[in-house]
């Protein structure tokens, strides 16, 4: 997850740089997918440190939805049914 967060942070940094230069941008769906698959801590840091994507309300709403999905999945994995699910693969 740390590597994914780093990759997501880097993706935000590249997008911010492209935005400042007027170059072709990273699709928002790509940034959201990176957050959804576990890179949301890096995305949250990038948004604050780089001051990137903070003013877009729709983007922020979708981003925080990806965070909630990740946290719900994590809570489920630690629940009894989640533990039973994981035992199927061990």
Please write the tens of the pLDDT for every residue from 23-82: 999 999 999 999 999 999 999 999 999 999 988 999 999 999 999 999 999 999 999 999
Q: Is 63 exposed, middle or buried (0-12, 13-18, 19+ CB in 10 A)?
A: buried
**pTM for this prediction:** 0.86
- Burial of residue 3 (CB within 10 Å: 0-12, 13-18, 19+) is exposed
Q: Which residues contact 83 (CB under 8 A, 6 or more apart)?
A: 77
Q: Where are the domains of the chain?
A: 2-87
Contacts of 13 (CB under 8 A, 6+ apart): 46, 50
């Amino acid at each position: 997850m740390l590597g994914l967060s780093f990759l997501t942070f880097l993706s935000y940094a590249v997008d911010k740089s492209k935005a400042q230069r007027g170059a072709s941008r990273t699709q928002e769906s790509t940034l959201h997918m990176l957050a959804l698959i576990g890179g949301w801590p890096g995305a949250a840091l990038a948004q604050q440190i780089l001051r990137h994507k903070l003013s877009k309300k729709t983007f922020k709403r979708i981003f925080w939805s990806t965070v909630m999905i990740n946290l719900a999945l994590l809570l489920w994995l630690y629940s009894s049914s989640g533990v039973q699910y994981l035992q199927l693969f061990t």
